[in-house]
Amino acid sequence: MTFKNTIIAICLALTLTACGEPTLDTTSKETMKASLKEMTKDMDAENKAKVEIGTLILAETYAKELGKDEALKKLDGLSADDILEKLAEIEAQEKAKRANRNK
């Protein structure tokens, strides 16, 4: 790839990234708080709480499985919809585990 094509590809990638919905930045505590605030700023109180609590639950779940650093990597770049989707997956897995234990 030529230098010119590389620059064009980078500009296109940046443009497409900037158009998407806000995502979680887990680089530091400060960026995580700021990005979570940005992600939820236009949400009603109920959805905002779901995303904030969902983020905490995912962080704890992933940290138990993978360790803190890997958990943060796994959360980085997730949108609010991604967080709620992954939370629903974890809840379904837990529900299935409880159902299997009760058999």
- Domain boundaries defined on the chain: 22-101
pLDDT band for position 8 (cuts 50, 70, 90): low
Tell me if 6 sits within 8 A of 22, measured CB to CB.
no
**Largest interatomic CA distance in the chain:** 63
pLDDT band for position 65 (cuts 50, 70, 90): very high
Q: Residue 61 pLDDT > 60, yes or no?
A: yes
Tell me if 25 sits within 8 A of 35, measured CB to CB.
yes
Q: Residue 92 pLDDT > 80, yes or no?
A: yes
Tell me if 59 sits within 8 A of 86, measured CB to CB.
no
Query: Bigger pLDDT: 42 or 14?
Result: 42
